[in-house]
Structure 1
Amino acid sequence: MKQRRNLLAAAAATALATALTLGLPASAQAQNYKSEYRMSLVVGTAFPWGKGGEIWADKVRQKTNGRINIKLYPGVSLIQGDQTREFSALRQGVIDMAIGSTINWSPQVKQLNLFSLPFLMPDYAAIDALTQGQVGQEIFRILDKAGVVPLAWGENGYRELTNSKHAVKSPADMKGLKIRIVGSPLFIDTFTALGANPTQMSWADAQPAFASGAVDGQENPMSIFTAAKLQNVGQKYLTMWGYVADPLVFVVNKDVWNSWTPADREAVRQAAIEAGKEEIAIARKGMIEPGQPLLKEIEGMGVTVTHLTPQEREAFVKVTRPIYDKWKPQVGTDLVNMAEKAIAARKK
């Protein structure tokens, strides 16, 4: 009888402990949370990309009642400014979370080169057809397998060409131009095929190089051009060619993700999705409205803006097509075929 009473008492104690655990407020469950989580960003909050990080951090703080606090580290300062090392550092836990560029992470995840295939995505509807559809889901599956938790898409934007020398209307106009690029072999191949001299350097190093004339030009979204005031460092000629766009990915380190309660994970995911939508709207502002007011603003700064005719753009497509064909199997033929099909079927 005594043994039975002891067993019943033990069972009751276990049940009570379980009930108390389940009934604990999230703040008590989260006692092992870090006091602060480190978010890596390439640029600061003056840019849409950095603004997306700020929005995400604010939403997470609100949705978790302050249990998850995020500090932004722009300039990829957690890894000494080397943006191509960001993904590896995230996977290793040096970084807790990030909004990362598909270009910067492509050396570690080759399928991300999809978005850098020259002239794959002709318009914003094409970007959306990829990121918001089956292709985007497949990329997330690949990223998860690579060791991070992808949550939402953002956008850096179409990367347009600028330089300090002359207007560029044809591949011949690019001959010998020293163009700053990120550390991607696909970018090196593309700009070499166009006759330029691609020069790999971080964004932090690039701006002084423009000012000194050591580098002639660069390619980046228009929001980067205006926020960085590139017209003040000699970038007086702009060519709208829309050769690639740069989707961004909101991700969390897997160990950090697994340390949170299910409710907080869902809160962080929803915050990322909401922040991603807001960030994309900011990134496209001035480019999707009638008359493209952002370009008007840039012209007002004394910049010569060149809009390619369909025939002029086709000349660039033709020159870079062998690079597209070379990289297609490296990215993954099935993935590229899926992307091409999704773009062909998009609603314009």
Structure 2
Amino acid sequence: MSVFASRKTAGALLLLALFGPGIAEAQAPLPAKVVAAGELPGSVGYVTVKRSPNDVIDANVGRWDTPYPYPDTGERAPGLQPTGFSTFYVDIDVNDGGTAVLSYLMQTYDAGVWDWYDIYMQTPDGEVQLVTRLGKPGRQYGTYWTSPRVSLSQSLNKWRNQRVRFVFRVQQDGWGDQTQGQVIGFSLSNCPVPPLSPITDPAAISFESGNRIVIDRLVPAAQTGLACMKQAVAQLGGSWSLSSAYRPPSYQTHLREVWDRWKLLRNNTNAECSALKSQVRSEFQGHSLLVSQRPAAGNPNAPHARGIAFDVSIRGLPAGHTVDTVAASCNMYRPWPVNDPPHYHPR
């Protein structure tokens, strides 16, 4: 024990002896603490929870194991979906305060009028609604839909020295078009910005490790167009830099999350956020992200995830030639030349 630590301990003991426990304990505020988490009694089931030793919690709420089998006819698929709420909860002793941070998303084959996702708090003052009836817009069911991954932070300071409960529930109508809500990285912090979610998908881990150019998973038309454009640029004496081809949806989700976190942190001077800010800055720069361009969502139907797109920067073409004339000669084109100029698709 250091001399400083010894004196600090001795000082606390002296305060305790002179003034009682309240004064001594005031020297070290007691942070908020998770005291329980799991499936709420009365839930219809299909709740899975992962809780790390440092109380970072991930949960899936609602049955999600079978795509809806009748998207063309819309008929009922008995046995594939429960009826009622699948419900997950987290109980917190707020103590001296803090902030709950998390991300959430929903995926479904149903429409939001029948299946939805709610997030709310139960407090001594009553319920606090955080997300109400999140669902697929409209009434068309049967096709896959996912919400964006959204970050959420909630100050607990109003309920110091009390207990609050976070409730995450997914309504399911028993039709067979399954719905799931996700709780991602629920944790308690004095920084109101959620930490980055861990990467678990092997393909995304490979990308994060630097193996980011995957050509062999492009569709044949994109592979042919890529080879043709590369050869054409070389013959014209230009330069070529390929930055992306196939990308797994989970990696794309990571890129968007890094961008979203940096937007929240880049002007944040809160000392409690300094470590997270440093981490996110490193990720943002390492992925060569642009402040002006938010990455696309991690949708399995997105162009890079489907293998129909690649990103390439072309420079030094001679007069009379442009990137678009080169692309056209190879049966390729840029769908968003202003907002995403390096991005190419097959025609």
TM-score in same-fold range (> 0.5): no
TM-score norm. by structure 1 comes to 0.23
Instruction: Give the TM-score of the pair, scaled to structure 2.
Output: 0.23
Higher relative contact order (CA 8 A, sep 6+): 1
Q: Is the helix fraction higher in 1 or 2?
A: 1
Which has more radius of gyration? Answer: 2
